[in-house]
Structure 1
Amino acid sequence: DELATSLAATGVDFTEAATTATNTIEELTFASPGYVPKYTVNPELGAVVWGLKAGGTSAVVESSNTYLIVHVDGVEMRELTDDQIAGIKGSGFSIWLDLYRSAARVAIDGAVVQEAGASPTP
């Protein structure tokens, strides 16, 4: 949390500060995935990414047993690469559908079997 706060401070060069932090904090890594199109990351992480404006830095986010701090350098529209298109074709529909599943309240014969935001009942 302290690192996320310091990285989000006004005037901080995120890349430089994150790189320096990786040299002082054990098991910390820094990655810059580049342009990330919608429907290529899970809905929870996507909500964080798409919720940030250019220059924005998130608080600590837990995703798939990993703690992340997300920084958005810029927001732009661009042509998708073949790999990005393949990724969207492979998992984009499931990612899109998960957004609706997570918000759904499901009832069978009037009995609620899943509240909005809950995991489906087996």
Structure 2
Amino acid sequence: MPHGYLTELAQKDERIRDEDLKKLVDSQLGTQGQLWLFLGGAFFGGILSIAVTRGINWISSFDPFTQTIEWLTVSILAAVLLTTITALTFFSLGRFVFRQKIYLMKDYLRARGIVEKRMEK
């Protein structure tokens, strides 16, 4: 079973206590969430800006006065697509961050188990 840095730290350093692990986990949970949200926002923000630009170009190819139905259809379709892309982006990014936090908590529980076994001896 793969392990993370907390488990590795608990295995290698005999001085680590449960309180130390808790402090590290609390710090990592906050930092990790902010980092992934920033990186994901930058990445998906770039994709979204490209989609908006393409949508505007697509809408601009129709004349709203002579091609009203086509222009309106394309405008509504572009708005629905952008809304869907944005919602899926937020959902998938939130899910990814949540999964990373689960991995961190599993690592913490493994490391805590190692520390507790060491304290029993």
Instruction: Give the TM-score, by structure 2 length.
Output: 0.22
Higher helix proportion (structure 1 or 2): 2
Q: Which has the larger radius of gyration?
A: 2
Higher strand proportion (structure 1 or 2): 1
Greater relative contact order (CA < 8 Å, ≥ 6 in sequence): 2
Instruction: Give the TM-score, by structure 1 length.
Output: 0.22
